[in-house]
Chains A and B, each alone.
Chain A
Amino acid sequence: DAKTTQPPSMDCAEGRAANLPCNHSTISGNEYVYWYRQIHSQGPQYIIHGLKNNETNEMASLIITEDRKSSTLILPHATLRDTAVYYCIVRAPHRGSTLGRLYFGRGTQLTVWP
């Protein structure tokens, strides 16, 4: 699976957009980009995933560059409850699963301040 590079920490003011970058320069053609977040001492929470096109759901937007070597997770209006560690993962489906050998790095600690 491709490795990802994320900044270790970011800050964002409440109500502003939080833009979390991720580099995945060795991504393969069949690998998806996934984003999860983990609030302290809780299980990771799925946010969004995508292959080529930009994606949007009720939680966030995912912007993937045309060459697919990087992506950005956008939280349009960050709240204090969005403070968490955000993980960017890239992988191909494994036996029809969205997990399989899914390796998590250290992610980005996003702190939203009032």
Chain B
Amino acid sequence: QKEVEQDPGPLSVPEGAIVSLNCTYSNSAFQYFMWYRQYSRKGPELLMYTYSSGNKEDGRFTAQVDKSSKYISLFIRDSQPSDSATYLCAMSDTGANSKLTFGKGITLSVRP
């Protein structure tokens, strides 16, 4: 079993739709949870960052972490064509081993 599993996609939605992206993980030591957005031929851009459990909202984006279920989500409201990109979940623990473990990423396409 991979440490981090992410729905493989791709995902295509109409403009204005609510998008739900999800990841599950197996390592209970993970405490830091991040979502990155990566446009084609660019580096990943940090979109959302959460420590431990709970929700975090930033504009049209909401990140949720459910540590009891080992499940994290990213919601995008009122999706725009500019949201078309690959979304990667990433997580790490709190020790000296602070490497990020990534999901494989899901490619989202928002149709005008």
Bound pair (A, B): no
A residues engaging B (CB < 8 A)? none
B residues engaging A (CB < 8 A)? none
